[in-house]
Homo-oligomer: A and B are copies of this chain.
Amino acid sequence: MYIHIFVTMRIEDEIKQEKFSSEYTKLLINLVYTGNRISFKTNEILKEKNLTLQQYNVLRILRGQHPDPATVNMIIDRMLDKMSNASRIVDKLEIKKLAQRTMNKEDKRCADVLITSKGLALLNELDEKVKVSEKSVIHLTIKEVKTLNDLLDKLRG
């Protein structure tokens, strides 16, 4: 017989830190820690398909544009981690035939990046799995999720 007890575990206990110098410091740590926790679960699903989280996100950006192409600059603009190297992520997607680069006719500096049908199919396959996993790892009511989203939006000012 298994008994599951879900209790709210404070971040202090979770990472065994006595106390934080301020609620603000605690928030940063809480954000990063919680983000990592959820990402980790998603990552496990992506690993089966040989995708990194970054590649997955870029692929979703490309799908958002489809059937129009995106440019590398557009991808950088929409990526979660602005510092990372969009060009080389597109390289990886191209190698896997999930995306394709073509030269932009109007501006030869730009590379048009298009998701392939293989890319679309892969995302399609992943969508439901990822959604279910995310939902199962987030122990909140839909109302709380909305509050959280609003607070995070406000946080960034």
Residues of A within 8 A of B (CB): 6, 8-11, 14-18, 21-40, 42, 61, 64, 77-83, 127, 130-131, 134-135, 138-140, 142, 144-157
User: Closest chain B residue to A74 by CB distance?
Assistant: B16
Cβ contact within 8 Å between B139 and A154 = yes
Cβ contact within 8 Å between B80 and A134 = no
Q: Which residues of B are found within 8 Å of A64, using beta-carbon distances?
A: 17-18
Q: How far is the CA of A36 from the CA of B155 in the complex (A)?
A: 13
Shortest Cβ gap from A46 to chain B (Å): 13
Shortest Cβ gap from A86 to chain B (Å): 13
Cβ contact within 8 Å between A34 and B154 = no
Cβ contact within 8 Å between A27 and B145 = yes
Cβ contact within 8 Å between A8 and B149 = no
Which listed residue, B15, B24, B78, touches A145 by the CB 8 Å rule?
B24
